Amino acid sequence: MNTFSEHIFCPEHRMYGNASEKIRAKGHLHPVEVGMRTVKLSRTYTCRGMEFDSIPLYDTSGPYSDPAVTIDPEKGLEPVRDCWNFNNGRTESCNESGLVSARGRIPLRAKNGESVTQLAYARQGVITPEMEYVAIRENQLLEKWISSFSSGEKHFTPLTPEFVCREIAAGKAIIPANINHPELEPMIIGRNFRVKINANIGNSALGSSIEEEVEKAVWACRWGADTVMDLSTGASIHQTREWILRNSPVPVGTVPMYQALEKADGIAEELTWELFRDTLIEQAMQGVDYFTIHAGILQHHLPAADRRTTGIVSRGGSIMASWCKANNRENFLFTHFDEICDILRSYDIAISLGDALRPGCIADANDEAQFGELRVLGELTLRAWERDVQVMIEGPGHVPLNLVEENMNMQLELCHEAPFYTLGPLATDIAAGYDHINSAIGGTLIAAYGCSMLCYVTPKEHLGLPDRNDVREGVVAHKVAAHAADLAKGNPAAWLQDELMSRARYAFAWEDQFNLSIDPVKARELHLASRAASGQMEENPDYCTMCGPDFCSMKRSQGK
């Protein structure tokens, strides 16, 4: 593991610019300390009558951006949630399983008759440490600014733990936080909160190692991924997931069907409920925070899928369709759904109801198969809620922009306002090599309409397994999409960052511009490289090489 640690935890992970400082905001109700990143500005800017010489930013990088923390990937991150001691008395050790985590921790589960999910607590009006944590995190210590902010007719107030609790109780938001993932810094997914993004990682039978996958997870958080999904399908699935979880400050999701299929030697027809159930429990004890489960694809949907241009493009969906056809039986994820929920409730794992029938091309968008499955996902949502399980709904896929709004409206109506989590959607089929941009275009639109989380797409989509640089490109493209949607929804913290950036631009304050950017490293690199290439020697030029000194319109409009 030595080369592993040297490789992953290089100083680059901490390189946010000299003006950036890691801070921790303390809770009032619970002993939580919420990690944020403050950017010190080079001067004081006045925005809407308030003065700012720094701004705290929403930060997904966890301890990786904290120079005060020593990272040892063989030990994993500090189990920050353990000291909150919230579930004491309601949980028990799973001693009989024989499973011990990589850091020697015996997994926990709820005692018989106890419910430890965020949804169960919210329904009782109980504010958990996780609820307080996300309220502080979303406000970014900008309560005064938020209180003074309005957009159109809308006046804003800071988020409170009580509001978070109500949103979760109503099923409109989830906090994916398995009790066996103590390294997690909680986050919330819901349309009345900041739009979040997910990065998929995971090895395949054809490439990459555990080390590379852990590196990608850390790398994705460092660039802004709010969750990561481990979609490993090759060798060492259990160990890969274990190392990702122990080193991940963000929620980790999986598609348990992939590992179940490995256990069935890759033969879909030989999958059984028992094999799938045991896989769920294995992953639950490791600490997976949310499971994608394709329980909504039913036998009567299959003829419509067969008539499509690209059939079934979801891996989990195509596995279950093969199983249903070969065995001439209904999807066992549907017939055993209540048992699945009982397992998830014991560990507080959220269910992400998979869209097995998402359209894989523009021609299949919003078709009978897609919306037929969505109706079933709505019914399953109610069944999961009955068992105190937090739910989000997965969505498409490939959708032309004129059909995106219908997707969002149908999801809200059929799935009772549970959070929507979409892959893109990709706005065209012909952007191979640039599908991260394609996906960010569709993602921006659907998030502005109310989608809660965007699954990233990398430039390698449809072409190959992404490497480290593809992960960065994909994360940043979707971070732009999520931020643009936050602006469209009037999020006050998002607005402040843009206002400060505009003022820094007009002041030619280059360091502030870099540090307020979504990717400060690239902004700085591009600017300095173009200055060097053009021989520009001034320390703080009041123009850049794009227009040059004589044609800089911002300089000219200031009368310089």
d(CA 505, CA 235): 49
Under 8 Å CB-to-CB from 335, ≥6 apart: which residues? 273
Task: Please report how close the Cβ of residue 546 comes to ligand SF4 at its closest, in angstroms.
Answer: 4
Task: Please report how close the Cβ of residue 57 comes to ligand SF4 at its closest, in angstroms.
Answer: 23
Task: Please report how close the Cβ of residue 556 comes to ligand SF4 at its closest, in angstroms.
Answer: 8
d(CA 468, CA 211): 12
Instruction: Give the range of 7-15, 25-33, 257-265, 539-547 binding ligand SF4 by CB under 6 A.
Output: 539-547
Task: Please report how close the Cβ of residue 541 comes to ligand SF4 at its closest, in angstroms.
Answer: 9
Instruction: Confirm or reject binding of residue 206 to ligand SF4 (CB under 6 A).
Output: no
Task: Please report how close the Cβ of residue 455 comes to ligand SF4 at its closest, in angstroms.
Answer: 33
Q: Which residues lie across from 52 on neighbouring strands?
A: 45
Task: Please report how close the Cβ of residue 521 comes to ligand SF4 at its closest, in angstroms.
Answer: 20
Q: Which residue has the tokens 């001067």?
A: 43
Instruction: Give the range of 180-188, 276-284, 324-332, 545-553 binding ligand SF4 by CB under 6 A.
Output: 545-553
d(CA 151, CA 146): 11
Q: Which is nearer to ligand SF4, 304 or 554 (CB)?
A: 554
Instruction: Give the range of 27-35, 207-215, 294-302, 543-551 binding ligand SF4 by CB under 6 A.
Output: 543-551
Element at 547 (helix H, strand E): none
Q: Which is nearer to ligand SF4, 25 or 554 (CB)?
A: 554
Of 207, 462, 547, 558, the one binding ligand SF4 (CB under 6 A) is 547
Instruction: Confirm or reject binding of residue 554 to ligand SF4 (CB under 6 A).
Output: yes
Q: Which is nearer to ligand SF4, 100 or 547 (CB)?
A: 547
Task: Please report how close the Cβ of residue 534 comes to ligand SF4 at its closest, in angstroms.
Answer: 12
Is the Cβ–Cβ distance between 25 and 141 less than 8 Å?
A: yes
Q: Which is nearer to ligand SF4, 245 or 544 (CB)?
A: 544
d(CA 433, CA 461): 7
Is the Cβ–Cβ distance between 554 and 522 less than 8 Å?
A: no
Of 124, 430, 553, 559, the one binding ligand SF4 (CB under 6 A) is 553
Q: Which is nearer to ligand SF4, 258 or 514 (CB)?
A: 514
How many CB atoms are closer than 10 A to CB 368? Answer: 15
Instruction: Confirm or reject binding of residue 2 to ligand SF4 (CB under 6 A).
Output: no
How many residues lie near ligand SF4 (CB under 6 A)? 8
Is the Cβ–Cβ distance between 64 and 221 less than 8 Å?
A: yes
Task: Please report how close the Cβ of residue 485 comes to ligand SF4 at its closest, in angstroms.
Answer: 26
d(CA 32, CA 378): 35
Largest separation between any pair of C-alpha atoms in the chain = 77
| Binding map of ligand SF4 across residues 291-330, x = CB under 6 A, - = no contact | ----------------------------------------
d(CA 252, CA 49): 41
Instruction: Confirm or reject binding of residue 552 to ligand SF4 (CB under 6 A).
Output: yes
Q: Which is nearer to ligand SF4, 10 or 547 (CB)?
A: 547
Q: Which is nearer to ligand SF4, 195 or 500 (CB)?
A: 500
d(CA 331, CA 327): 10
E strand map for 183-322: 189-190, 196-201, 227-230, 252-254, 290-293
- Strands 173-174 and 189-190, bridge-based pairing: antiparallel
Q: Which residues lie across from 55 on neighbouring strands?
A: 39
d(CA 153, CA 39): 31
Instruction: Confirm or reject binding of residue 456 to ligand SF4 (CB under 6 A).
Output: no
d(CA 492, CA 506): 21
Of 68, 546, 550, 559, the one binding ligand SF4 (CB under 6 A) is 546
The DSSP annotation for 269-289 comes to GG--HHHHHHHHHHHHHHT--
The DSSP annotation for 124-186 comes to TT---HHHHHHHHHHHTT-HHHHHT-EETTEE-----HHHHHHHHHTTSEE----TT-TT---
Q: Which is nearer to ligand SF4, 465 or 554 (CB)?
A: 554
d(CA 115, CA 320): 30
Instruction: Give the range of 207-215, 258-266, 338-346, 540-548 binding ligand SF4 by CB under 6 A.
Output: 540-548
| Binding map of ligand SF4 across residues 487-526, x = CB under 6 A, - = no contact | ----------------------------------------
Residues 331-390 that bind ligand SF4 (CB under 6 A): none
Residue 474, SS3 per DSSP: helix
Instruction: Confirm or reject binding of residue 544 to ligand SF4 (CB under 6 A).
Output: yes
Task: Please report how close the Cβ of residue 532 comes to ligand SF4 at its closest, in angstroms.
Answer: 16
Q: Which is nearer to ligand SF4, 236 or 517 (CB)?
A: 517
Task: Please report how close the Cβ of residue 559 comes to ligand SF4 at its closest, in angstroms.
Answer: 14
Q: Which is nearer to ligand SF4, 13 or 555 (CB)?
A: 555
Q: Which is nearer to ligand SF4, 44 or 553 (CB)?
A: 553
Q: What is the contact surface with ligand SF4 in residues (CB under 6 A)?
A: 543-544, 546-547, 552-555
